[in-house]
Amino acid sequence: MRYALQRIGQLLVVFVVVTFAVLVAMRLGAGGHRELARRMLGGNVTDQQVDEAVRRYHLDSNYLVQYLYWLKGFVTFDLGYSSANSMSVAKLLAPRFWTTALLGIYAIAVGLLLAVPAAVIQAHRRDSWIDRLGNVASFIGFGVPAIVLGIFLQLAFSLHWHLFPAIGDSIYPWQQFGAHVRNFLLPTLTLAIPQAAIYTRLLRADMVATLQRDFVVLASAKGMPTRRILWRHALRNSLLSIVTSVGTSLGGLLGGAVVVETLFDLDGIGSQMVISVLSRDLFTVQACVAFVVFIVVVVNLVVDLSYSLIDPRVRMARALA
């Protein structure tokens, strides 16, 4: 429990420091607070509107005060006003959130689906041709830039085989399931392949070490079938490294989401962020970045806390601490 609180504290510090830095970066450089308000509202605005914005977002105070009001807004989903879309940022981002969240979840799921069997087989048949093939594949998957991978997938699956649309549409599963799958498949693959490569590398290394441990040899000596030894005994003990790799590679995943959403024309947080950056929509950019950092922080916390679910010893040690 103490450990959990400590970890939450650390991550909270990171979140606050980062979002504060983003706020300052966003608002830095404007001549005065009225000028700033004008820029944040964008377009032609009346003096009255400017006054109201200054009052509402406390733009005439120092950055710290502005930040505290921003933070208050963030927790109450009052994320400001999107100048480019003339609507509230919360309203703009809400549907886009689902696109990005679904993409992320699919990518992690598909990545694991590819990586876990690959890593287990590679570790089991270490140095065989299949292991080498796996190593080469994950080396390429790790290095290939998302744009390149996405373009190649479009080339193969949409233009050559006409299987999936290259230009997607953010259709949600609760709207039209078939169309959803067709639209999300290539983006998901583009995100999942590099993830799978990272997971495979880490899990394979961990499994190779686990397979040499005494208790795995004992499981053989008990006459357990190979499948059971690999999946029940060894994999379970390597779960930590999977969870860790999902956590540490999340930043890359979210960065990839920016590219993939743009490349496949999906309306997500990532593509919206790029559009807002280009149209100088300050509120929206700030909200997008804060949101992404929030996800990173939360997932890292979940990863950390899940260690104790996986390993009873950690559970015990923390109960005692």
Partner 1 sequence: MTRPRPLQTAGRPAEGPLIELTDVRTHFATERGLVRAVDGVTLTIQRGRAVGLVGESGSGKTVLSRSIMGLLPRRGVVRSGSIRFEGTELIDAPRSTLRSLWGREMAMVFQDPMTSLNPLMRVGEQIAEPLRIHLGQSRAEARDTTIRLLTEVRIPSPAERLRQYPYELSGGMRQRVMIAIALACGPTALLADEPTTALDVTVQAQILALLSEERRERNMTLVLVTHDLGVVARHTDEVAVMYGGKVVERAPTAALFRRTRMPYTEALMRSIPTVDDPPHTRLAAIPGRPPDLVEPPPGCRFAARCAYARERCHAEEPSLVASSDDPDHHYACWYPVGTVEPVALRPADPAAVG
Partner 2 sequence: MTVLRRLRRAGGWFAATWLVALVGLAVTAPWLPFVRAADEKVRVGGKLQSRYRLGPGRHALFGVDNSGFDIFARCIHYARNSLLVGVSATVIGLLVGGALGVAAGYFRGWVDRIVSVVIDCILSIPALVLAIVLVSRLDDIRQELPGLGWVTRRWQVVAALSLLAVAPLARIVRAQTLALREREFVLAARSLGATSRRVIATEILPNLVPTMVTVASTGLGLLIAAEGTLAFLGVGLGESWGYLIEANRRRLDKAWWATVFPCLMLFVTVMAFNLLGDRLSRRFDVREVIT
The stretch near partner 2 (CB under 8 A) out of 15-23, 58-66, 77-85, 309-317 is: 15-23
Q: Does 258 bind partner 2 (CB under 8 A)?
A: yes
Among 116, 230, 263, 266, indicate the residue that binds partner 2 (CB under 8 A).
263
273 binds, among partner 2, partner 1, none (CB under 5 to 8 A by kind): partner 2
Asked if 119 and 198 count as a contact pair (C-beta separation under 8 A), the reply is no
Burial of 224 (0-12, 13-18, 19+ CB in 10 A): middle
Tokens at 46, concatenated:
């009346």
The stretch near partner 2 (CB under 8 A) out of 66-74, 84-92, 244-252, 304-312 is: 244-252
Residue-level length of the chain: 321
Number of residues that bind partner 2 (CB under 8 A): 61
63 or 215: CB nearest partner 1: 215
Residue 81: beta bridge partners? 88
The stretch near partner 2 (CB under 8 A) out of 64-72, 91-99, 103-111, 253-261 is: 253-261
| Contact pattern for partner 2 over residues 124 through 153, marking x by CB under 8 A | ---x----x------xx-xxxxxxx--xx-
Asked if 112 and 313 count as a contact pair (C-beta separation under 8 A), the reply is no
Among 90, 166, 310, 314, indicate the residue that binds partner 2 (CB under 8 A).
166
297 binds, among partner 1, partner 2, none (CB under 5 to 8 A by kind): partner 2
- The string of DSSP codes covering 144-180 is S-HHHHHHHHIIIIIIIS--S-SS-----TTT-HHHH
Please name the helix (run of DSSP H) or strand (run of DSSP E) that holds residue 81, with its range, or none.
strand 81-82
Among 84, 116, 192, 285, indicate the residue that binds partner 2 (CB under 8 A).
285
Q: How many CB atoms lie within 10 A of CB 196?
A: 26
Nearest CA-CA partner of 124 in 211, 196, 205, 206 = 211
Return residues touching partner 1 (CB under 8 A): 126-127, 213-215, 217-225, 228, 232-233, 236-237, 310-313, 316
* Minimum CB distance to partner 2, residue 26 (Å): 7
Tell me which DSSP letter residue 311 carries. Answer: -
Asked if 256 and 194 count as a contact pair (C-beta separation under 8 A), the reply is yes
DSSP, collapsed to helix, strand or coil, labels residue 88 as strand
Asked if 22 and 290 count as a contact pair (C-beta separation under 8 A), the reply is yes
73 or 270: CB nearest partner 2: 270
Among 198, 219, 235, 287, indicate the residue that binds partner 2 (CB under 8 A).
198
Q: Distance between CA atoms of 22 and 259, rounded to whole angstroms?
A: 21
Interface residues with partner 2 (CB under 8 A) are: 10, 13-15, 17-18, 21-22, 25-26, 28-31, 127, 132, 139-140, 142-148, 151-152, 154-155, 159, 166, 198, 201-202, 245, 248-256, 258-259, 262-263, 273-274, 277-278, 280, 285, 288-289, 292-293, 296-297, 300
